[in-house]
Structure 1
Amino acid sequence: MRDVRDNNTEPGDAVNTVDAADAVDVVVVGAGVTGLYAVHKLREMGYRVRGFERGADVGGVWYWNRYPGARCDVESADYSYSFDEELQQEWDWSEKYATQPEIMRYLSHVADRFDLRRSFTFGTSVVSAELDEETLRWTVRTDGGIGGGGADGGDGRVGGEVLSARFCVFAVGCLSSTHLPSVPGLDTFAGATYHTGEWPHEGVDFTGLRVGVIGTGSSGIQSVPLIADQAAQLTVFQRSANYSIPAGNRPLDEAARRELKAGYAERRRLARLSGGGSPFMTHPRRTLEVGEQERRAAFAKRWELGGVLYSKTFPDQLTDLPANEAARGYWEEKVRARIDNPAVADLLVPTDHPIGTKRIVTDSGYYETYNRAHVRLVSLRENAIERIDGQAVVLADGERVELDALVLATGFDAMTGSLDRIAVRGRGGRLLKDDWSAGPRTYLGLGTDGFPNLFSLAGAGSPSVLANVILCAEQHVDWLADCLAHLDAHGYAAIEAGARAVEEWVAECRERAAATLMMSADSWYLGANIPGKPRVFMPFVGGFGAYGQIIADVAGSGYKGFELIPG
């Protein structure tokens, strides 16, 4: 039988069969930024850890999202681990906002530096996890890299592994379950079809082709300028206009990198106090408490900073509609100045949601792309897609848009989609997917009643997608590590969220969201992009720093709201 403490696998390897259940302390599902740190931290504490990743290497969302222009909307200096000072000092970022290839190089460097790959089995999905109520251990089954099993109850044993784990840790990411649009005939399109969330690793050459892009969320907005550079004709099909702000990207020279590294201690301190996990504080006064000149200066400063933090220029932008309108008005003024055709600008300026209630996109030359003669914007609200016929997208007015390639920039079943694919059964055989059928039910985003010793990290019920995910990952993993140490120090076998604590946390998350403008947008934060998904605001909207204090207080109280189960 394999020694689970020394799983020497390489990217792409899959361990396919075992004759009996392996016993480990922790199973970690996912090798993205959260899973990598979880394996490192828990292994360092002496736990026997096995990790599983359906991709062929580390990276999580960055392994799959290789579409043209894929770029992080958090500054590189902040979108990096803080747990190791030598790591911070040795890694050199090449630009302010790193692209996908550079982020992958960074995560690969982290995996190499801490020898993390040996604890992972790649090319393998966990298909089920079932609680043994007598031992309070989890039986975890994988597909062995050949598919099979899943949330419908299949056990995935053919060619897979069966493990027994005391703790089961899901680090599956919020944006890793791709969503396909419901378009009649889509599966019969005669040209080439690509999804931005599962982009070919060898890349795609669109030179001289007629290309269509469906979707103008982050991946659509980031990819359109680069696709336009190659395509002979580009048609962008837009259902909903989104707010985007130029990245203001720039190369980082050696002097800039030295300055960043010298200031890391203070930068991280401020980030942990902030709402979004980045070291930029909101203006000390409310939007309309300052004069127009000061207000415009503050907006201009955030505009030059680039990216999503524009929505946090003033503290009331996402709670007060007049304040939000001031921010939206400045944004519209700046964007319309970039678009030559006023009619096209009318289509690109959102009118259906306040700015920041959907994630603001970080782009490079998106709006200017529509000034190019071979680029066309089609508003699906005015002229919907009726069907796909051969190589044509057929619109409601009968027009046939002939294409050689179709890019689906249609996003993800966010927050819960990746967990829904796994048959997780707790007490009484309860299926987690059923337990969350009306929306995710968690306490602190960490645990769920009826599922002892099972943790979901950096997902629903926590700041996750509303903050710097790498610091969210560290925040959750550090809390988890302290929790497991507490259990062992006091002889507890398990920890389980209490039903009342879960209901109270769900209510608190709901009430905090209702006090903002976030509920007014049909966003993926609410699952609005997935037909039939319950309309529930899934992340914790109270801010990264506030959330960190809440979970620290829970730990300091002896884990109030959790039941600690004796061994």
Structure 2
Amino acid sequence: MNTTQTQGAAKANQDVAPDFDAIVIGAGVAGLYQLHRLRELGMKVRAFETGTGVGGTWYWNRYPGARFDSQAEIYQYWFSEELYKSWQPSERFPAQPETERWLNYVADKLDLRKDIQFNTRISSAHYDEQTDLWRITTADGKEMSARFLIACCGMLSAPIVERFPGQASFKGELYITGLWPKEPVDLKGKRVAVVGTGATGIQVIQTIAPEVGSMKVFVRTPQYVIPMHNPKYSTEDWAQWGARFHELKQRVRSTFAGFDYDFDAGPWAEKTPEERTEVLERLWNDGSLALWLASFPEMFVDEEVSEEVSKFVRAKMRARLHNREDLCDLLIPKEYGFGTHRVPLENKYLEVYLQPNVEAVDCSTVPIERVVPEGLQTADGKVHEVDVIILALGFDAGSGALTRIDFRGRDGRSLKEQWGQEIRTAMGLQVHGYPNLFTTGAPLAPSAALCNMTTCLQQQVDWITDCITYARNNGKKVIEATKEFEDSWVQHHDETAAKTLVVKTDSWYMGSNVDGKPRRLISYIGGVGNYNSQCDDLASKGYPGFAMR
């Protein structure tokens, strides 16, 4: 074959029509909106969802007490004022069933189900360099192709399941919080063990404590907690929030964490001790995450400020535990500062440990060794006999949902293998070497952890959609982050993170909860407003750093 024929064959390959213009993985908050936006462009698009229904996080996490801790008025879609006003939340922080109903309402309102294939897990996605298409395979062996592939897999959707040897040997009931069954689970009068005291474990513990016969909580890392203030919302209340739709829509895009509140208290150094306490008391009493994300940003970078704020929270917790030294020692953090871990909201969580049927087991000094048929065996040889084990072990955050799919980019490179050595992205939107693969909720963007998720996921979906639109309008079919741009973003991300105390703390933010996971702050900590400005700047300049052809 001569040169002209070879070039002609290559061009013919590149002109192969894909099955879909775009495929979206996931039907949660991001996936639903991404499907909607791509359909608006007139693209042939299909979303694939492992579950039997929409909701993502709010489909899978149906454990007792599950609810979000972003206020209902800002945990919202912002593309439609009518959609915002037509759904009536029952309270400030709705529980999982209501949130799942809301996302089903959105799917029905936008007629999205006809383009979603449920009960379908994507097992692999390989980039075909001859055709510039993605070849996608489902777990049941079905194959399809797409020009663009958008992974909306969720930042907390890869639950840690196998943590202890012998789990399959347990004679009782064993549940994973992130894979909780749809069928009701009856815990009344049973002996229950809960392993894990992060945000999820706390919600489970405080919810089931009144009904179980006895409960052993295995505590390894204590958490700073804030009591949730969760008033009911009337029709009149929601009408008032609806009147502020445009104000809130703009506000959440500009704040540090994508909420409607921000660090507006003024510099720590310019306030008297009494003024500082007044700010902390006011935000504590708000019963939201404002104490963490709207008090004093100096707590993230200055050890003295961190310690002062931490002392304030410790004192609040100590009073609720009635100064019980045994419980205070076990349940109040001392090894890290307030805000360097994820801060949970709770409802009488600490008071649970004052109940006679609840025992806190210190597994930081005597860890759980294995699961045995009768229950949990700790390193001292003791067997804690129970009827039910609930594992609230958290997630392989940010990266886990993507590495559990066999993504192969140019030259056959494996995303799982690359991220097993070093987790890198270009603003959490693309990874160099994987053309036309876009990501939401991925590492090195605020959406991986440090954001009101609806704010950040929508921003990323809009940016991705606009980038694809720009490429199509300019006759381009392939978009890929350059190595130079990815390198510069990783450097900026690390330099920003290194200034904070967060990187000095072991937590899932740093990947510390997953054995062998490369250590890097999973989320960009430069602020949502700052991140959005940088994304907008790239778009206004024609997407430099994202090569198109």
The one-letter amino acid of 1:309's match is: A
The alignment yields a C-alpha RMSD, in angstroms, of 1.4
The equivalent residue for 2:432 is: 449
How far the C-alpha of 1:365 sits from its partner, in A, is: 1.1
- CA distances 1:365-400 after superposition (whole Å, capped 9, x unpaired): 101111111011011013222332221322233332
The equivalent residue for 2:545 is: 561
Mean Cα deviation higher: 252-261 or 161-170: 252-261
**Alpha-carbon distance in structure 1 between the residues aligned to 2:370 and 2:535:** 49
SS at match of 2:420: coil
The equivalent residue for 1:520 is: 504
The 5 A counterparts of 1:52-63 are 52-63=48-59
The equivalent residue for 1:488 is: 472
The equivalent residue for 2:178 is: 197
**Alpha-carbon distance in structure 1 between the residues aligned to 2:162 and 2:507:** 15
The 5 A counterparts of 1:385-404 are 385-404=368-387
- Runs ≥4 residues deviating over 4 A: none
**Alpha-carbon distance in structure 2 between the residues aligned to 1:435 and 1:381:** 32
**Alpha-carbon distance in structure 2 between the residues aligned to 1:227 and 1:101:** 17
The equivalent residue for 1:337 is: 319
1:135 pairs with 2:116: no
The 5 A counterparts of 1:101-112 are 101-112=97-108
1:539 pairs with 2:523: yes
1:26 pairs with 2:22: yes
The one-letter amino acid of 2:514's match is: I
How far the C-alpha of 1:289 sits from its partner, in A, is: 2.4
Which of 506, 510, 532 is matched with 2:494 structurally?
A: 510
Which of 479, 482, 498 is matched with 2:482 structurally?
A: 498
How far the C-alpha of 1:22 sits from its partner, in A, is: 6.1
1:176 pairs with 2:157: yes
The equivalent residue for 2:304 is: 322
The one-letter amino acid of 2:26's match is: G
The equivalent residue for 1:351 is: 334
**Alpha-carbon distance in structure 1 between the residues aligned to 2:280 and 2:462:** 35
Which of 283, 300, 303 is matched with 1:302 structurally?
A: 283
CA contact (8 A) 1:288 1:323 kept: no
How far the C-alpha of 1:455 sits from its partner, in A, is: 0.4
How far the C-alpha of 1:240 sits from its partner, in A, is: 0.6
**Alpha-carbon distance in structure 2 between the residues aligned to 1:22 and 1:455:** 17
The equivalent residue for 1:258 is: 239
CA contact (8 A) 1:205 1:230 kept: no
The one-letter amino acid of 2:143's match is: V
CA contact (8 A) 1:287 1:317 kept: no
Of all paired residues, the percent bearing the same amino acid is 39
**Alpha-carbon distance in structure 1 between the residues aligned to 2:411 and 2:370:** 45
CA contact (8 A) 1:125 1:142 kept: yes
Normalised by the size of structure 1, how large is the TM-score? Answer: 0.91
Which of 333, 350, 354 is matched with 1:367 structurally?
A: 350
**Alpha-carbon distance in structure 2 between the residues aligned to 1:201 and 1:322:** 47
The one-letter amino acid of 1:448's match is: V
The equivalent residue for 1:241 is: 222
- CA distances 1:434-485 after superposition (whole Å, capped 9, x unpaired): 2222232211111111111110112212101200111111101111111111
Aligned positions, number: 531
**Alpha-carbon distance in structure 1 between the residues aligned to 2:249 and 2:168:** 47
1:271 pairs with 2:267: no
Gaps of 5+ in 2: 1-15
- CA distances 1:393-437 after superposition (whole Å, capped 9, x unpaired): 222333321100000010111111111111111111111112222
CA contact (8 A) 2:255 2:528 kept: yes
The one-letter amino acid of 1:252's match is: Y
The equivalent residue for 2:406 is: 423
The equivalent residue for 2:115 is: 119
**Alpha-carbon distance in structure 2 between the residues aligned to 1:249 and 1:297:** 22
